[in-house]
Structure formats: C-alpha cells, structure tokens
Amino acid sequence: MAEKQEARPAPSDTAPRRLTARIVAATVVLGELALFLFARFSPTYYTLEADGPGFVRGVMLAALPLLLLAGYLTARWRDLGWKGIRRGVQLGFLALFVMLFVAAAFPMYSYLVPDLFLRADPLAAGSAVVGGDAELARLWPSLVVIALTLLLGRVFCGWICPLGTCIDLSDHLLFRRVRPRKRVLWPQLKYYVLAASLVAAAFSLQLAHLFDPIPLLTRALALVLYPIVTLAQSAGVSGAARVGEALTNLGLGPVGRGLSALRGTEASPVYLGHNLLVLALFVGLLALSAYGRRFWCRNLCGLGALLGLLGRYGLLKRRVNQNCTRCLRCHIECKMSAIPQEVEGTALRECILCWDCVHACPHDANPIVLTPQPSAPKDDLAFGLTRRRLVAAMAAGLGLAMAAKATPARAHRSQRLLRPPGALPVMSEAGLTPRPFDEVDFLETCVRCGECMKACPTNAIQPALAEAGWEGFWTPVLVPKIGYCEHNCNLCGTVCPTGALRFFYIAEKARLIIGTANINRNTCIAWYEDRDCLACNEACSYQAVPFQYLPMDREGGPVWHRRPVVDEGKCTGCGQCEKACPVKPEAAIVVFGKERKQ
C-alpha cells in the first residue's frame, strides 16, 4: 500500500516574508509615483498642457489599477503565496503595457507615457547610446531597471517583462501537457547574441531589436494586432448598422435606430506592411515553449543576458536549508533551469525569482531570502561561455556591421525614401539647428519598435523593406500613397523612446523638409489633358501648389488655362498632394526625398 503523501505545511509568518511583501508593495507604489512625476514634469513630452483636474484624472486612471492590485496582493499574500502574487503582478504590468500602447494615439489627450516600457529597457537604451546619438534624458527609466536588478536580482524578467508574461500564458494554455523528455538548453547562446549585438551597434548596425523583448512585443502589437483590431471594429460597426437598418424596416424602430446611429463611428482601417512576417516570428517565438518552458528567455533573449550579468549581485537569493530531502521538485519546476540536480546551488544569472521552486517544495527547504551575504560558491555556477566563442560572436557582429556599410543601398539611397519629420533636423525659432541629424544617425539610434507606426493618425508611417537597405529593415518610412503627414501632428517625435525621431513643436513643422513634390506633366490631368483639376491645390496645407495661368490656342482666340506648379520654398514633402491625386496607379504628383545635410 502506497504511503500517504505528506501534507504540505502552511507557510509560517516569518519576518523575512513580511519584509519581502512590504518591499513588493512599496516597489509597485513607488513605480506609480515615478510614473506620476515623470508625466507631470517631463519638459518635452506633451502636445497638450496639463489642465489641472484633467491631468489629475488621467494620472489617477493610470495609477488606480496598479495601486488596487498592490493593496489586494499585499492583503492576501499569505493565502495566495508568492507564486500567486507574482502572477498578479505580471498581469498588472501586462495590462499597463497594453494600456500605454493604446494611449499612443492622436490627439494625445492621455497623460501617460506610451513608450515608458521602451524607455525602461536597458538593452534598447544601451544599443541606442552605444551606436547612435540617443537623447539620454528620455532613457533615464532604464537606469531604474538597472538599479532594481543590481539591488534585488533579475526580478524584471520574472515579474515585469510583458513578453515573459505572454510566454507564461501561452505555455500554460497551449503547452501545459506538452513537455520534452530532455531539456533543450543553450543558456550561453543569449550571451553571444548580446555580445554580437553590442559590437554591431558600436559600428552603426542595430541588431538588438531582433532579440529584445520590449521592442519585439511592441512591434508585434503595432504591426499585427492593431490593424486586426481596427479592421474588426470597422467591420463590426458596419455590420451592426446594417442590422439596425434591417430591424427598422421590420418595424423595430428604437432598436434599429440605435444600431443605425453607429454608422460613421467605425475606425479607419489601418494597413501596415510585413504583418505576416512579424506574426510568423512572434508565433514561432511562442511555439518554442514546446521544446522547453521559457525557451526564448533561457536561450535567446538579449535583455535577459544583460540583466543576468547584473542580477547575480542582487540581495534576493535562494537558500537551501536542512529540511531538503532532495526530491528534485525544485529542479523539475524551475522554468529557467537555474537549479541543478544537486539542488544546493543556483545559477544566479538565470534565476528570475519567480518563486516556483518555493511553491513546489513540500518542506519549505529552499526559501528565497533577502540577504546581503555574498554569493556562495555553488551559486556561481559556470554557464558554458568560452573565450573563443565569445570572440567569434563579437567578430560576427563586427563582420555584419562592415557588410552593411559595403552595400550599394547605403551609398545610393532611393529617391522615394522619405523619413518622418521627427528624423529631420529640429529648427529653433531663430532658424538654427541645435543638433545636426542625418540618415546614418537615424539608423544607429532607431530600435525598430513600431511605436511611431501605431501612433501615426493617417497610417502614413510604414516599416521599410528594401528602400533603406537591409540595415534599415523595419525602420519607419513615410509612404504618401497610403497616407500623408498631418500638418497638426507631432506624435512620431513624441512616442519615440530613443530620440531617433525627435520631439518637435507644431510651429516648427513647416521648416522640417521631408522632401519635395514633383509633377509629372505627362500624366497630370491639368497638364496633359488640358482639364481643370484642383485636387493637389486644395489638399495642400502649406499653399505650396499654386496655379500657373498659361495661354492655350483655341478657335476664337487664346484661352487661359491654369496648371499646378510646386513652390519648393513652401513645400515640406508631407504627401497630401500625392495622396489626393486622382491619377492611378501612380500619382501624377509624387514626393521625392532630399539629402539631409549637416
């Protein structure tokens, strides 16, 4: 007869647990306070000024959910256990991430900071600073994450990272019953990826965005989920309006009129390129969990490698006491494979302090404690790095950067390559350029997060494919055929986390020259067909397409005919004329880019 399994004892109410609970609650509250102060005193963020009561309401709406969550988890930490508390905190930060993503919209009435998670990303900040001319004032939240990692350990990966939460959710929902017989482990691979990315960034090639979870998830939401949501909302509203009309015809007037009133409220569909490629990569990333829990985090995440190097000095550490029976439950449950089969040691570079091992142990034999004591020898486990492979990874990053500089696309940019106005020199009221900025600077600083593409109100900003060379892949470009640059908008420079797209004031926009419009007289209706067409003239917000009156010989005498011309002194290259031109498939007036000079 099998022995009855020993019941797990209730966790004791010890002083270290109470102290750690207070630290978690205080961290969440202080994070909200930092968000409040940043939103209130940021000098270069808002397109609208704080208006007192409206500002307070916006901040309270942002702070209230996390404050309530912190209070609830603190009150029930003894019942939920640290694993339950960690899950609640993860969901709270994922909700905050989505809320900030939605807030990146025109007009910017929200007092949140849509790119807060991107600014708090140490890898994105480091690669932008090492490779380009990033605005350091925007990236100070990343210093908070670094300080938190140095103080407590790699808590960002286990408690805050929104992509880690998505991986945990997909692992629980899709791969809970699928477990490999052997663990697929290449934990050293992410350190080689980190080394190659930083070396490539130092030589003007950005690769970190391919292995950085925050830009990766933001890009997936911007290029895949956001267009799907807008299409679904538009189709749903249109369908409801048609149902309302049918109900009205059937005599159900009040209900039918209510549904019919929805017509006109549907969102304009958003079309962004490369969405299938981004979707395939994101689904593939989640599918890696079939080969092991948190496969991406353990083996490929560049941010995890950076935080792992810093987190081994944190104060929170796993300790094994005399109650351990070596049942190996902690080793089996560890999603990061940070606990070896000997179970006494812990790979602190890999431990994300998720408390799964504590929850799995039936004897409370491996608590996570707050201790200033240095790491034990068994906690400093070797993680397989070799000097030869590290040098090879750095050489690979250098080789990729040199290859990027040798491509023809770098020397001969496409004439149709148009960058958003935030990528151009910002002109002051005195007509000076405080800091010159060119195409190379832009490529070195942009982290390819897609935040500007989501925020653009006219869908004009698209991800680049080949027009900027393969080093400019996924960088933002302006496509007037799809949308024009709204003259009363500065969101692209507002939501950019690194300053690759700079903040500028609306009054400065007329001096930010994206390009110059050019009229093809062989296809223009007014020039080629001698018919009146006012489309480009009426669409231009800068009065840069006036009419030129020319005589035409007709029976009975000359007839004065008006034809559009481009005033290059006023044209900013916004693309309103190209978007409005009725000539298809290629507009008769198109915008060509200009070389930006320092």
Per-residue pLDDT of the chain (598 residues; tens, 9 = 90+): 344 444 444 444 455 555 655 565 566 555 555 555 554 444 433 333 333 333 344 444 555 555 556 555 555 555 567 777 788 888 888 888 888 888 888 776 555 688 889 999 999 999 998 877 778 888 888 999 999 999 998 999 999 999 999 999 888 888 776 555 455 578 889 999 999 999 999 888 889 999 999 999 999 999 998 888 888 777 776 666 676 677 676 666 666 666 666 565 556 777 787 888 999 999 999 998 888 888 999 999 999 999 999 988 888 888 888 888 888 888 888 888 888 888 788 888 889 998 888 888 888 888 888 877 765 555 554 556 788 999 999 999 999 988 887 777 666 667 788 999 888 665 444 444 445 557 888 888 899 999 999 999 899 999 988 778 778 889 999 999 999 999 888 889 889 999 889 888 888 888 888 889 999 989 999 888 878 888 999 999 899 999 888 766 666 556 677 889 999 889 999 999 999 999 988 899 999 986 543 3
The answer to whether residue 40 is domain-embedded is: no
Beta strands in 63-212 (DSSP E): none
Is residue 91 included in any domain, yes or no? no
Structure tokens at 252: 């159900």
As a whole number of angstroms, the distance between CA 403 and CA 409 comes to 11
The structure tokens listed for 26 are 């205080």
Q: How far apart are CA 589 and CA 571, in angstroms?
A: 12
Q: What is the DSSP string of 426-490?
A: PP-TTS--SS---HHHHHHH-----HHHHH-TTS-EEE-SSTT-GGGTT-EEE-TTT----TT--
Domain contains 331 = yes
**Of residues 101, 181, 205, 192, the one with CA closest to residue 453:** 101
End of a domain among 321, 347, 379? 379
From 379, 395, 418, the end of a domain falls on 379
**Domain with 321 in it:** 313-379
| 212 domain-assigned | no
Give 275-341 as a DSSP string.
Answer: HHHHHHHHHHHHHGGGGSTTHHHHHT-HHHHHHHHHHTT-SEEE---TT-----HHHHH-TT--S-T
- Beta pairing, strands 476-478 & 461-463: antiparallel
Residue 523 in domain: yes
Is residue 533 included in any domain, yes or no?
yes
Q: Are 154 and 308 in contact (CB under 8 A)?
A: yes
Instruction: For the beta carbon of residue 308, count every other beta carbon within 10 angstroms.
Output: 28
The number of residues making up the chain comes to 598
The label of the residue with tokens 């930490």 reads: 77
- Cis, peptide link before residue 585, omega less than 30° from 0: yes
Q: Nearest-CA neighbor of 444 among 120, 127, 115?
A: 127
In-domain check, residue 175: no
CATH of the domain at 340: 3.30.70.20
Task: DSSP letter for 369, please.
Answer: E
- Distance between CA atoms of residues 185 and 163, nearest Å: 20
Nearest to 492 by CA among 101, 135, 136, 104: 104
The region that residue 511 occupies, defined by phi over 0 for left and psi between -120 and 50 for alpha, beta otherwise, is: alpha
* Measured CA distances, 154 to 22, 329, 346, 351 (Å): 18, 22, 13, 7
Q: Are 502 and 493 in contact (CB under 8 A)?
A: yes
Examine residue 142 and state whether it is found in any structural domain, yes or no. Answer: no
Task: State which of 351, 379, 407 marks the end of a domain.
Answer: 379
Task: Check the CA dihedral 480-483-488-494 and report its sign.
Answer: negative
Q: What CA–CA distance (Å, rounded) separates 358 from 367?
A: 6
Q: What's the number of domains the chain is made of? A: 2
